[in-house]
Amino acid sequence: MTALSTKHRPIRYHVRAPVDLAALGKLREAAWGGKDDGSWWKPVLERSLTWVTAYDGAALVGFVNVAWDGGVHAFLLDTTVHPSWQRRGLGTQLVRRAAEAAQTGDVEWLHVDFEPHLTDFYAGCGFQSTAAGLLRLK
């Protein structure tokens, strides 16, 4: 990833636009740690309903994916903002734009799972808490 500026340029958002998978991998590494060369994203995005990217100039600084069941349920996944850009509203904009894009077709529900420390963030994006189940498979 190119060095990020400290200047506040307007962020550009794109819905379902082609994304450099290696840059996406680098963004995920910066935000979440671990290794991600981007190679596994191609089949993920091919099955996605949509995704939203955020750019500062040429630098990819944010991403969110919307998976779906092919029917009325969509699922918000991988909300990611580069650490240098967190707490500036990018995550909220990514989620809101993803929700708007997901309203196409027959999608009626947008689900998201998150860790407890993100409760206020997702509530601020309009999500309501619900009871849900989770089964760890591996």
Q: What is the pLDDT of residues 1-59, one digit of tens each?
A: 344 444 668 999 999 999 999 999 999 999 999 999 999 999 999 999 999 999 999 99
β-strand partners of 76: 66, 112
| Residue 137 half-sphere exposure toward CB, CA atoms < 13 A | 0
Instruction: Give me the helices (H) in 1-138, please.
Output: 21-32, 41-47, 90-102, 119-124
Q: What is the rounded CA–CA span in Å between residue 46 and residue 28?
A: 18
Other beta carbons within 10 angstroms of residue 64's beta carbon come to 26
Domains of the chain are 12-124 (3.40.630.30)
- Nearest to 19, CA basis, from 48, 41, 43, 49: 41
Beta-sheet pairing, 109-112 with 73-81: parallel
Place of tokens 């580069």: 82
One DSSP character per residue, 34-57 reads S---STTHHHHHHH-SEEEEEEET
pLDDT in tens, 44-88: 999 999 999 999 999 999 999 999 999 999 999 999 999 999 999
